[in-house]
Amino acid sequence: MDYVESLSLLNQDLKISTTVPILGAFTYDVVQIFVRNKMDVLELAPSAPAVLKTDGLLWFSYPSENSGLDTDINSKEGWESLLQAGWKPGEHFELDNQWACLRFEFHQR
């Protein structure tokens, strides 16, 4: 069973998209974006707020330290573009042996 299938088992009414829909088509309670490096963060982060509900949760999943994947991000580094845009890091946990997750909340200045 893959990750998306396991999420669907948690809630059958869950609306899941593995691509960013046309802006304005849907908004989501939770957006989880998988990134491998800072460049992925720079490219993918700007699209998240457009599809995230105002009080929604934004999660970024990135290679964990023990994954063996080449990365330049961790729980404390690589998120500068999000921080500059007003996002603040929150909860952090290991999703599995390959991926870690970091939650972001938007704080208006």
pLDDT in tens, the chain (109 residues): 566 666 666 566 666 666 665 556 778 888 899 999 999 999 988 888 888 888 888 999 999 999 999 999 999 999 999 999 889 999 999 988 999 999 998 876 5
Question: How is domain 29-106 classified at the CATH fold level?
Answer: Translation Initiation Factor IF3 (3.30.110)
pLDDT at 109: 52
pLDDT at 51: 83
pLDDT at 103: 95
Alpha carbon 80 to chain centroid, angstroms: 15
The amino acid at residue 94 is: E
Alpha carbon 43 to chain centroid, angstroms: 12
The amino acid at residue 86 is: G
pTM to 2 decimal places: 0.80
Using CA atoms, how far residue 59 sits from 19, 92, 97, in Å, is 15, 9, 17
| Strand 28-34 versus strand 99-106 pairing type | unpaired
Q: How far apart are CA 74 and CA 63, in angstroms?
A: 8
